[in-house]
Amino acid sequence: MGIPQGVDESIALGGCETESVVLEARRVRADDDIARCLELPENSDVLQLRRLRKADGEDIVLECAYLPCEKFEGILEKDLTQSLYGLMKGEFGVKIKRISEVLEVVLASGADAEALGVIDGAPLMKSVSTAFDQSGAPIEHSRDLYRADRIKFIVENDFE
C-alpha cells in the first residue's frame, strides 16, 4: 500500500472516520515565504484553503494550504471537504511525488486554540510542508497545527 500521503489516508489507516470542515477558501496575496516555497514571483496571488480536520468527530488538525492559482484555477468551486491530494489528482491530473516537511512543537494561542478546542498554552505539533509534483515543481505549501494529544507521527525511511 505504501506510505500514506495525506491526512485522510493517515486517519483511515488508524481506523477512524475523517471529516473536513472548510473554514475559508479564497484567493489571497502570497507572503514572501509562501511565494518562495511555491517558486512564484513576489506579490503573486495564491489559493488559500483553511480546514478543520476531524477523526471520529474529534478535532485533530487545523490546516492552511496554499496553491498556485495557475495550476488549480477553479479548485475553490469543488468539494473541498474531500482529500485535497485526491482532488488534485482526480480533477487536475497532478500527483504528489515528494513532500518536504518540518515539524516543531508550538504552544496554542488565540483563534488557533479556539478552533482546535484547546486552551491557550496547550502543546501543538506544527507542520510546515511543501509538496512537489511528478516534474519536481512545488504545488502546495501548508502550515498545519495538530493537536499533540490526538496525533502520532510515524516516520519511515526506505534506503534502497
Task: Give residue 121's pLDDT.
Answer: 97
Which one is the CATH code of 7-147: 3.40.50.2000, 2.115.10.20, 3.40.1410.10, 3.90.550.10?
A: 3.40.1410.10
- DSSP classification of residue 150: S
Residue 97: pLDDT above 80? yes
Distance in angstroms (rounded) separating the CA atoms of residues 20 and 99: 21
Task: Give residue 151's pLDDT.
Answer: 80
Exposed e or buried b per residue across 88-122, where buried means at least 16 C-beta atoms within 10 angstroms of its C-beta: beeebebebeebeeeeeeeebeeebbebbebeeeb
**pTM (two decimals):** 0.87
Tens of pLDDT, residues 13-55: 556 677 899 999 999 999 999 999 999 999 999 999 999 999 8
Give domain limits for the chain. 7-147
Residue 158: pLDDT above 90? no
Residue 4: pLDDT above 70? no
Is 96:2 a contact under the CB 8 Å cutoff? no
Residue 160: pLDDT above 90? no
Is 25:49 a contact under the CB 8 Å cutoff? yes
